[in-house]
Structure formats: structure tokens, C-alpha cells
Chain A
Amino acid sequence: MNAATLPAVDERADPDTGKMGMWIFLASEVLLFGGLFIAYLYGRTTWPQGWAAASRHTDVVLGTVNTALLLTSSAIVALAVACAEDETRQRWTAGLLWATATLGAAFLAIKGIEWHADWREHLAPTASFAIRVAGAQQFFALYFVMTGLHAVHMAIGVGVLAALAHARAHGRAWARARHVEVAALYWHFVDLVWIFLYPLLYLVERHG
């Protein structure tokens, strides 16, 4: 029932293959989000006033709180991986994974609150869009697509980490250390995307 009953490393598979597979997958994810960043750059350089006007309507407090939550969750999951690899501390792993998943869920809840507020303020790119500056609507269109795609990735991450935490607490074989490491890599990537989304969406022009 406890983590000490987890079996030894699977002799058949090279332990690093899973890690390599995840890094290759992350390379593809960079190009997935990368297309959105190109569209963003087009919009920002074509409609600088619209971008600035629109960005000022994002909720910088909630955005900053979310950034802090995500950065912290990355640190916690990194700690979870270190624990999983240490015999005396590996019993902390499940708890740390739960903590990470919880922070991720909190991020998503706050995102939901933000989107709801945006909708109420007529910032969704519909016919009744509120900011009458050229390009502002496009900023928000990209904002929803980018944060939406990011949120989908986060939701998947939360699910995987929660499943891992549960499996670890119940001594399941697939929750071994190197799988925790691979899942953590994915989580860190989701954090990386947000690290760039934060200044690009919330901090375009806050002065004046």
C-alpha cells in the first residue's frame, strides 16, 4: 500500500527513452503555440494602438496572481520529482503532486473568472465588442485563443498529475519516479508558455 512496495525500475526499457519522448513531444508543442505567437506579432506590429488599448483591459491583478501560482506550482512539482528519486523522502511525492494539481486547478478557476468578467464587459470578439480602436478586437480574439489553448493543456496536466498522485498514494507501478519526471516536464512546459503569455497579454502598455 505504501510507496516502498513500488517495483524496481523496469529492466526492459531504457529509463531515458520516456524522457526523450516527452522532450520530442514538447518540441512539437513549441511549434503549436509558436504559430499563435506569430499571429500575435503580426497583430501587435500592425495595430500597436489597438493592442495597447486592449491590453489595458486585461485584469493585471488576476493575471499576476495566476503567474505566481503557476511559477510556484512548477517549483513544487520539481520538488516532487526530487522527492520521488530519494528513498527517504519519496513518501512526500504524492502530497506534492496533489499540491501542484491544486494550484493548477486554482489557476484554471481564476482564468474562468477572468473570462466571465471579459464576457460581461463586452470584450469577447463579438458584434458588441466594446473597444472602438482598430485592432483591439483582434487582440482579444487572440487572447481567448491563446489562453484557451493554454488552459486546455493545463487541464490535461492537472488531470495527469492528479492521476499520478492518486496512483502513487496507492502504490501503483506506473507511478514510478521516472514517470513523475516525465509528467513534470510537461507541466514545466505549460508554465513556460504562460511565462511568455503573461507579458505579451497583460503588460503591453500599462503606463499612461
Chain B
Amino acid sequence: MADDSIHSRDFNRSARAIAAAWFALIALMLASLGSAYLKLGPWNMMAGLAIAAVKSAIVAWLFMRLRESGALIRLVALAGPGVWFILLALSGVDYETRHVTRSTLQAPQQLQRSSAP
């Protein structure tokens, strides 16, 4: 019936979106893997995190259906990362501005043992 074909269309649309998302995710994963073998210095971590962020956006938006969700659900979804960023930012202020001079006594203990296992 017409009803069924509407539902079929909805399902087919979903299925196609899922397939496209999967393809993109695998491609991004390979890009991330590849970028680790390039000598990019501090940009290696940036590249890895940026790609991870894009993958997360795909999973959250399409798989977790934030695309179809109301404002409240989206707000809840953002609350976790938002509060985490507060933890990062303010503790980061401490870590960025604290000057640590390590003495030789502060070398991690793992290096102080002279004999091999």
C-alpha cells in the first residue's frame, strides 16, 4: 500500500545514510592511520583528534539520530563534552602556567632500577 511504500522509502533513506556513513568512517579511520606515518610534529595529534572529531560527529548526528532530535536532546548531548571542556580549560590554565623544574631525583622510578627483568 501507499503507507508501506512511504515506510519503505524512509527505511531505504535510512539504510543509504547508514551505508554512506560507514564508508566515510572507514575512510577517515584509514586517513588517521596514514597521517600517523607522516612526520607532522605537534600536528600529528591535531590531525588525529580532528579526524576523530569528524568521525564522532558522523556517529552522533546520523547513527545516534541527533539530526532528528529536538533541542533538548541536543542540549543533553552537548552537556557532557561542554562540562569536560571546563575541566580541561581551567586545569589547563594551571598546567600551562605552572613552571616545573624537575630534579634528577624526580626521574620516574622505572629508570632507576639498574638490572633488567
Contacts and interface: CB of A to CB of B under 8 A. Distances in A.
Contacts of B39: 207-208
A75 B107 contact: no
A24 interface: yes
Contacts, number: 150
B95 A20 contact: no
A199 interface: yes
B77 A78 contact: no
A90 to B, nearest CB: 10
Contact of B49 (A127, A136, A199): A199
A27 interface: yes
Q: Is the interface of A mostly helix, strand, loop or mixed?
A: helix
A105 interface: no
Q: Which of A72, A134, A181 has the most CB of B within 10 A?
A: A134
Contact of B18 (A29, A45, A82, A206): A82
Q: Which of B35, B55, B72 has the most CB of A within 10 A?
A: B55
B15 A135 contact: no
A31 B14 CA distance: 31
B36 A31 contact: no
Nearest to A24: B76
A19 interface: yes
A196 B45 CA distance: 11
A72 B22 contact: yes
Interface in B31-82: 32-33, 35-39, 44-45, 48-49, 51-52, 55-56, 59-60, 62-65, 72-73, 76-77, 79-81
Given A68-B29, A122-B117, A195 B84 contact: no
Contacts of A136: 110
A203 B110 contact: no
A100 B35 CA distance: 29
A115 interface: no
Nearest to B96: A45
Interface string A110-149: 0000000000001000011110101111100000000000
B110 to A, nearest CB: 5
Interface stretch (A2-10, A151-159, A185-193): A185-193
B37 A206 contact: yes
23 contacts: A20-B72, A38-B88, A42-B95, A44-B45, A45-B95, A74-B22, A74-B63, A78-B63, A87-B4, A88-B7, A129-B110, A191-B59, A192-B59, A192-B60, A195-B59, A196-B52, A198-B29, A198-B32, A199-B32, A199-B49, A200-B49, A207-B37, A208-B39
